[in-house]
Chain A
Amino acid sequence: MNARYDHIVIGAGHNGLVCAFHLARRGRTVLVVEAGGEPGGAAVTREFAPGFKVSAAAHLLDALPDELLRDMQLERHGLSFAGRRLATCALSPDRAPLRFASAGLAGASSSDTAAFESFRQQMDRHAKVLDRLLDMVPFRLDLATWRERLDAVRLAWDIRRLGRRDMRELLRIAGMNAHDLLTEHFESDLLKGALAWDATLGAEHGPRAPGTVLTLLHRWALRARSRSNGIAQPAGGMGAVTGAMARAAGAAGAQIRTGARVERILVDADRACGVRLRSGETIHGGSVVSNVDPKTTLLKLLGPEHLETDVVRRTAHFRSKGLVARLHLALDAAPVFRGLDAADLGGRLLVSPSLQYLELAFNPSKYREVPAEPAMEITVPTVNDPGLAPAGRHVMSINLMFVPYDLGFDPQGAHNALMRDSMAVLERHAPGLGQKVVASELLTPADLEREFGMTGGHWHHGALSYDQFFFTRPLPGAAQYAMPVTGLYLCGAGCHPGGGVSGLAGRLAALTILKETGRADVREGGAGRQGDARA
């Protein structure tokens, strides 16, 4: 079969674009097919009301590695930052906010301030171990190759090098829950609640669930990658980031086709050989790389008939129900938060005033109910980037937790209740906000699934938890980007190292693909890597 392209990438999300960039840069012919009208996937800027724009899913850029910025020359391709090193304010209904900035923690008791400093340093040291994982194709437990053995030894060495005290502490806390860890360190509810936000975002549990410390460490390690910019706000919203990535991939030689929805991955002689679009058009490629979530890729685009029953069962069990909803508000004036000054408003605002608050916000989701008092991560992007709204007006972009995918018998009722209750919580912190709202949009995980095609509406394509991490992400035996069908790869957040606009999964996938598919092999459609059942 004559392959028109060496590689076809399904989905122009950030990982798909990063993957396409690395493949094209090495001289491969790459076509990226994107179902949406513009590149970006879920990392796009969305006009939710006439003249009012927000980032549709992730609204802050806190994990984009400096290396990626440099490699792809994103700033040359049009990316600029409206805000860098943004501070975080933890809001409380009855006391002054806490402020986290590069300079340190402000507003906490002296003992908490000191404890935070030592906690931060300890987390930094622990995160270094995870940091190596972020650039590592997960090894298989049988360590069949020298490369894998070397990686395992390096990892063990990293842990050992922590020294006895830190190593013991890391091994102690790695499976722990955030609630207990934070309670060991701090006295302030507000501080604990704010830190627990990072431990539960993208997980599937409240802060009392085991494994939430791992989520916190993971985010800590990811944030460390954004060395120069910290928590940043891209000018023009997230669409500007993926827009720059698309231009970088294009400059490297990749072609991008938008408005082209893939309906089926084509398989010939147990080898992925192309895609069929909804229009009926077929495109042949030497290999197919999917930035789509693992469930959709394997069960819908590829089809279970090409997979082992065991693999299908594991894929079906991949936990991928999101718990984060998006609330977008169009405001006719700047919001005024109690206790915040104008400079604070451009940062990241957390409504997660205690561990108990966060746990109670989680509990209803177990029963397919929405929380009466949701936890929130709020930004007012127009403070740093006025162009996102008409002159003098503002938008507010909010992550809401914990909103279940399945809203029970009355989804519309739940939707309305969530909207009403979210506004009540906001009103508590920003009195008079409701009067300023001229338009709003609430996207629950089910809406996000419909809008962006992510199974379960999970931005990370699947919960980031201990059993869906590293060599078990997305599936044991298929965690090395290559899927069981030869010539099919995953490159999205469903793979290691998971979600966050970091492009890390896309890069690791590209490195794997480059290694596994020599050009000669691609041209001749040779046998290539044989699928195997090694777990």
Chain B
Amino acid sequence: MHAHSNERPHYQRPLLTTPFFERSRFLVQTDAFIPWSGYTIPDVYSSVEQEYFAIRNSSSVFDLTPMIKYRIGGPDAERYLNRLVTRDVARLKPGRVAYAVWCNEFGHLIDDGTLFRFGPREFHLCTAERQLDWLLDSAIGFEVEVEEVTDRIAALALQGPTSCAVLKSLGLAGVETLKVFEIGRFRLGGHALTVSRTGFTGDLGYELWIAPDGALDLWDRLMDAGRSRGIRAIGYQALEMARIEAGFVLPNVDFISAARTIRLGRETTPLEMDMEWLLDFDKGHFNGRRALLKERRSGSRRRLLGIEIAGNKPARGALIYDSARASRQVGEVTSALWSPTCKRNIALAMIDAPYFTALEEFWVDIYLNRELRWERRVERARVVPRPFFAPERRKATPPLDR
């Protein structure tokens, strides 16, 4: 056995570090790192609350590098992706990004992600989970190249009301003209920098993509430029709070990928996830289309809804009932949060048929641990629109200077 880590078999090696690790390791006070797709990233730098408020009130920097990235290119790339995902890729113009989901033959969700179109035949697909096997099986019969490029691209999410101002002071000329889901190409300190107006916070924000050798330079310039605008490196926990406020769903939290389920019936369809707006039944065939058409005709087994719950106790993992007696279970909470910005107790909830249409009011069974003593609260809840938090600055172009 050799001492050098690279010589060890992969299952004995430590998690990979991202190109930003040198900086994040220096800043993390809590030693709270978590694994993500084979990398280690900060869970919390110093305080979740302060990091969260950086997202909503100033600027936050999140290391996005472990997000799985696939390059998909070739003459059939558009045709290939149109069969893969549920949206119409022909309508995605070069220089734009689209949120997309994809399914298996039963219409069961495999994953969601963002699809970047750089040119007529050139795409990137960013996903939560590795799934090269599915992408390659889907490529049978298409003239298309699919390769994982995760470790070739360092990525940061710069999110928050002052994020555009930070980028402008970096000297990215015209960055303020980027519309939501638009991609811009810039140069920064001798490196090519791709900026997309995308994010997972529901706020004004950008995602920055650069070759690994430009990563530290980008980080340092961002931190310098953002010092007077309250910039702060944030960990996963703060992002998770903003994610729920934005009403975004997370694989293996709000739904289980069909590639992972073991128990029958745990798979989830886009219709169940309230994603009908993502389904383009008129574009021609796509994976799962026939099953989803059938489900649309015959009705879904359940539906994901946004709910607001009385009180201020987060309803994590709570069961949902049809009455205060809490006898008939009609669903469960998948993600929950006391929203510091909305000042509301919010949750994403999966409600069974027929209750997701039949009922307007639910009862949520919340367990609280108060100094080691468990208490139970059955709180009233009602369906509310998603996203829970949708500031105008998210879409304003150009964003206000702050």
Contacts and interface: CB of A to CB of B under 8 A. Distances in A.
Contact of A310 (B84, B105, B142, B285): B105
Interface stretch (A51-59, A333-341, A527-535): A527-535
A226 B287 CA distance: 44
A530 B107 CA distance: 15
Contacts of B105: 308-311, 533
Classify the interface of chain B: helix, strand, loop or mixed: helix
A305 B284 contact: yes
A305 B290 contact: no
Contacts of B140: 299, 304, 309, 312-313, 316
Contacts of B80: 305
Given A530-B294, A533-B105, A308 B288 contact: yes
Interface in A251-293: 267, 270
A299 B284 contact: no
Nearest to A303: B141
Contact of B285 (A307, A313, A316): A307
Contact of A304 (B83, B107, B284, B290): B83
Nearest to B292: A533
Nearest to B138: A309
A311 B138 CA distance: 10
Query: Which of B141, B142, B288, B293 gathers the greatest number of chain A CB atoms within 10 Å?
Result: B141
Contacts of A234: none
B82 interface: yes
B22 interface: no
Given A484-B290, A530-B293, A309 B104 contact: yes
Interface in B131-168: 134, 137-138, 140-142
B289 to A, nearest CB: 7
Contacts of B285: 267, 270, 305-307, 485
B79 interface: yes
B301 to A, nearest CB: 15
A431 to B, nearest CB: 51
Contacts of A270: 284-285, 289-290
Contacts of B104: 308-310
Interface in A504-534: 530-533
B246 interface: no
B259 to A, nearest CB: 12
B106 interface: yes
B216 interface: no
A304 B79 CA distance: 10
B223 interface: no
A303 B142 CA distance: 9
A306 B287 CA distance: 9
Nearest to A304: B141
Contacts of A531: 290
B291 interface: yes
Contacts of B289: 270
Query: Which of A303, A309, A310 gathers the greatest number of chain B CB atoms within 10 Å?
Result: A309
Nearest to B297: A530
Interface in B306-339: none
Given A299-B140, A311-B105, A313-B140, A305 B294 contact: no
A267 B289 CA distance: 15
A530 B294 CA distance: 9
B290 A299 contact: no
Contacts of B134: 309
Contacts of A312: 137-138, 140-141
Contact of B106 (A303, A304, A485, A533): A533
B202 to A, nearest CB: 32
Contacts of A533: 105-107, 290-291, 294
Nearest to A305: B83
B402 to A, nearest CB: 46
A62 to B, nearest CB: 37
A125 B9 CA distance: 58
B83 A532 contact: no
Nearest to B282: A269
A377 to B, nearest CB: 36
Interface in A464-497: 484-485
A307 B284 CA distance: 11
Contacts of B84: 309
Interface of B: 79-80, 82-84, 104-107, 134, 137-138, 140-142, 284-285, 287-291, 293-294
17 contacts: A270-B284, A304-B83, A304-B141, A305-B142, A305-B284, A306-B284, A308-B287, A308-B288, A309-B104, A309-B134, A309-B138, A309-B287, A313-B140, A533-B106, A533-B107, A533-B290, A533-B291
Closest 10 CB pairs of A and B: A304-B141, A308-B105, A309-B138, A310-B105, A531-B290, A533-B291, A313-B137, A305-B83, A306-B285, A533-B105
Given A270-B289, A310-B287, A533-B106, 17 more contacts: A270-B284, A270-B290, A303-B141, A304-B140, A304-B142, A305-B82, A305-B142, A306-B284, A309-B84, A309-B105, A309-B140, A311-B105, A484-B290, A530-B294, A532-B290, A533-B105, A533-B107
